[in-house]
């Protein structure tokens, strides 16, 4: 049986024939689903030439049905008519179609596929919730509002007609309705052997903060220089490192704004924006830090970086938005703050510095949360439901 997966994460093929993906989270997801099928065919954008860095797809039964590379919807729609024959050919190659949404090509693939093949969705984001936080103005604001309306309609249209998985409680509540088949899951990138063993952090006088996030207005990262400034003013030797790429033009503007705030507040030497780091390297990098901070705004399901931080023994501080509250229980496996207030985040960090018992409890319970939410468990849960509800006899099971 052949599974077709469509998403907008770009891939490339190396000179030795191996498949690579820039971030690594989607590559791990594909690897987790691959053992259930004879073949997996990825309908994804493909770079014209090999890139540097990235994460390799390990499964040997994964191949490509390439689309032209499109960084965003502005590049996608002018190429739509040339992509439609590729989408049709891809659907015909596959026995079951999996669409990870929102993504621009999904509704067109869905229209083609539902006449010929069973389809299931994974909803990982909420454009309607994030739209107010993007900072567009004028014609860009109007164009993005139009795109959001199209994507919101498309995801709702598909969720009403196909088996759907939603990442976290907020997305599940949004898309669930009488007569629909919507199941809540927690997306993950973790393997069991990613889980660390240290029982405490903050060993020493420094407070090493870590954030993994795209540089994007919706992520609340502008609060970080003020967090560092407040901590240093209170006598904490704090610094923050941020890993993640800029998201287009708005991301570049956000990067400059973060650095300008750091200069204005006199903490520029203590705020480092590292850029993108492939997932396999990133998993080791977490362990060099003491506290994970994600001041994100609405518009997400459950950010997979929260589980990655827990797996690596970092106490987590994040905002009580979107699906995060279905993963984080305040003062049990993380600390939740209301909004991206620098003062609130700094106060939460000071609590961790001062309260050893709280800090160790968050780390220990974070390990348990991570172990319960591996990518293999996610795949097993999804494929059990896919097999049952779509009537598919999956030919394989994951290796033990």
Range scoring the smallest mean pLDDT among 145-149, 184-188, 259-263, 365-369: 145-149
Q: How far is CA 183 from the centre of its chain?
A: 18
CA distance 375 to 185: 11
Maximum Cα–Cα distance across the chain: 64
pLDDT digits (tens, 9 = 90+) for 370-388: 999 999 999 999 999 999 9
What is the average pLDDT across 297-313? 91
pLDDT digits (tens, 9 = 90+) for 328-372: 999 999 999 987 799 999 999 999 999 999 999 999 999 999 999
Nearest alpha carbon to residue 103 among 144, 46, 44, 143: 44
pLDDT digits (tens, 9 = 90+) for 172-211: 999 999 999 999 999 999 999 999 999 998 877 799 999 9
Name the segment(s) of the chain with CATH classification 3.40.50.2000.
2-188+374-390, 192-371
CA distance 198 to 364: 9
CATH 3.40.50.2000 matches 2-188+374-390: yes
Nearest alpha carbon to residue 213 among 333, 295, 144, 323: 295
What's the pLDDT score for residue 320?
92
Sheet holding 55-56, edge to edge: 55-56, 19-21, 11-13, 45-46, 67-68
CATH code that applies to domain 192-371: 3.40.50.2000
- pTM exceeds 0.75 for this model: yes
């Amino acid at each position: 049986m052949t599974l077709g997966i469509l998403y907008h994460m770009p891939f490339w093929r190396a000179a030795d024939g191996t498949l690579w993906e820039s971030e690594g989270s989607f590559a791990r997801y594909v690897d987790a689903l691959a053992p259930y099928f004879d073949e997996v065919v990825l309908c994804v954008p493909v770079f014209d030439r090999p890139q540097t860095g990235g994460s390799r797809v390990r499964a040997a039964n994964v191949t490509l049905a390439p689309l032209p590379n499109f960084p965003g919807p502005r590049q996608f729609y002018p190429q739509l008519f040339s992509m439609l024959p590729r989408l049709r050919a891809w659907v015909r190659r596959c026995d079951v179609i999996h669409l990870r949404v929102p993504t621009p090509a999904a509704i067109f693939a869905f229209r083609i596929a539902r006449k010929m093949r069973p389809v299931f969705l994974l909803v990982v984001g909420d454009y309607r919730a994030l739209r107010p936080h993007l900072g567009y103005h004028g014609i860009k604001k109007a164009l993005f509002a139009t795109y959001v309306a199209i994507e919101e309609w498309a995801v709702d249209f598909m969720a009403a007609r196909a088996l759907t998985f939603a990442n976290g409680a907020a997305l599940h509540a949004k898309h669930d309705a009488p007569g629909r088949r919507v199941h809540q899951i927690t997306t993950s990138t973790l393997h069991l052997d990613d889980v660390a063993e240290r029982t405490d952090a903050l060993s020493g006088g420094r407070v090493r903060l870590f954030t993994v996030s795209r540089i994007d207005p919706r992520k609340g990262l502008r609060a970080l220089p003020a967090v560092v400034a407040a901590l240093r003013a209170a006598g904490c030797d704090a610094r923050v490192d941020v890993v993640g790429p800029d998201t287009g033009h708005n991301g570049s503007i956000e990067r400059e704004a973060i650095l300008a705030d750091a200069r204005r507040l006199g903490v520029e030497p203590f705020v480092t924006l590292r850029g993108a780091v492939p997932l396999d390297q990133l998993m080791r990098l977490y362990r060099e830090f003491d506290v994970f901070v994600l001041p994100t705004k609405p518009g997400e399901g459950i950010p997979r970086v929260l589980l990655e931080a827990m797996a690596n023994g970092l106490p987590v501080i994040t905002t009580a938005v979107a699906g995060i509250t279905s993963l984080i229980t305040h003062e049990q496996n993380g600390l939740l703050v209301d909004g991206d207030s620098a003062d609130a985040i700094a106060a939460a960090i000071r609590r961790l510095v001062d309260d050893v018992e709280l800090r160790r409890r968050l780390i220990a319970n974070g390990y348990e949360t991570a172990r319960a939410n591996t990518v293999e468990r996610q795949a097993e849960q999804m494929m059990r439901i896919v097999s049952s509800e779509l009537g598919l006899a999956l030919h394989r099971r994951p290796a033990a």
